[in-house]
Chains A and B, each alone.
Chain A
Amino acid sequence: MSFTVPPVDTADHAAPGQPAAPRRGLVMRLGLDRFSGIYVWALFVLIYALWIPRTFLTITTVQSVAGEQAITGIVALGLIFALAAGAFDLSFATLLTMASVLSGSMMVDWHLPSGLAILLTLAAGLAVGVVNGLLVTKVGISSIVATLGMSSLIQAVIDRVTNGGQFITGFPSSFTDLASPKPLGIPILAIYLLALALIAWYLLEHAPFGRRLQATGAGPEAARLAGINTDRMVFSGLVASSLAATIGGILITSQIGSVSPTIGSGYLLPVFAAVFLGTTQIKVGRFNVWGTIVAIYLLATGVKGLQLGGGEGWITDAFNGAALLLAVSLAVLGQRRQGGSRILRGGLTRRRANRPATEQEQS
């Protein structure tokens, strides 16, 4: 070694807004930063257990939280891929409805066997993802605009198929059995979620594909110059998001046993909230699978307790929205210097530009 350059720069950037050294040590050791969600979750459980023990501390509550949130989780897993590649997908919520409507309509109106209906629905969902992907990568439309337009087209299909919003019911039991079993008392949807989460985790964090996908989202030009086919990454992310939403739509139809033409809209915010909140957990600053799962169950537990405690319908939206804004604000304030995800920090870069720039700050 020829020269020792003291690590002033690091200290320099860490300084504003960072806790002082001894406190930081404690925070690190307890994992209060990366695992804060788990601590908050435990706090929720404790509070509700003391407040409403009769209704909250029951097997039914555990089962319903686990089962109800599985769909949110599955759809969120797909959205992680799109966002990690730097693309927004606003079409997944209506696509979820479309998958629900299509699969239901194929079985009830067209009398197709459930297996075929599922396959055709998956194909339709795949097609939506492919079109989204082509619009963004080949035509070059911003992903927000492309998927917003797509979402309106999908809504048109839904209206057409349901004749302007009629419910569809009366599915064969071979279809409703997809979502109803509870082996060992565990809702099977939660098991599906776990299985898909394992696959997503492998793809995103232990396969070259995932590294390339994240590189594309975090620095598209640098990723391209490192030999990554960034268009393919964005395309894959949007397709993954569409497929997950389609699976979610099929499963929810099976779970409820009827199709509502507005079912998907309720998923838009919770899914985004979960994925963004997930970036503050486990792998801080990155869209990641386990962080998202933690976020989902954290939000679900919070909401469930409030509902059981007598809260009204609006409490769910209020809670989800507030939790999302609070958590992401804290995350952005905490890791400005890390340059984490560009999507989270929208608009921040310009403002920073007028502040005294540091040599190593990200662009």
Chain B
Amino acid sequence: MSAIGFESTFYARLDCFSRSLDHVIIALKAEPSIATDEDWLHTTELVRTLAANKAPTLAASAVAASLTQRLPYSEGDWLQIVSALERRQLNQDMLQKLDSLAWKLDEERTAALARMRHSHA
């Protein structure tokens, strides 16, 4: 049985969170109009899942489970970022953490693609 059935949906979920997070980072650093409300919502949903180990959606649950243990931040760190995202006001330290998260999502997306290409029964 190939893993592509699972991985292709997982890839799309990573892609969706990754895209939204990049838009949010651009919005915070340079141009607020780049991020839509949906981008803010997706990003907050992912960070909230990392903070609370409870997911409002299957997508956030699967993606957060792949990132757990791979990011050097505590649940408390993520919780602070959730409140800041809700206010749409993040300090430099929080932005750095979001940037690390964005790179982890990118690494995981690349890894998912490699698993799809080398998938075996």
A and B assemble together: no
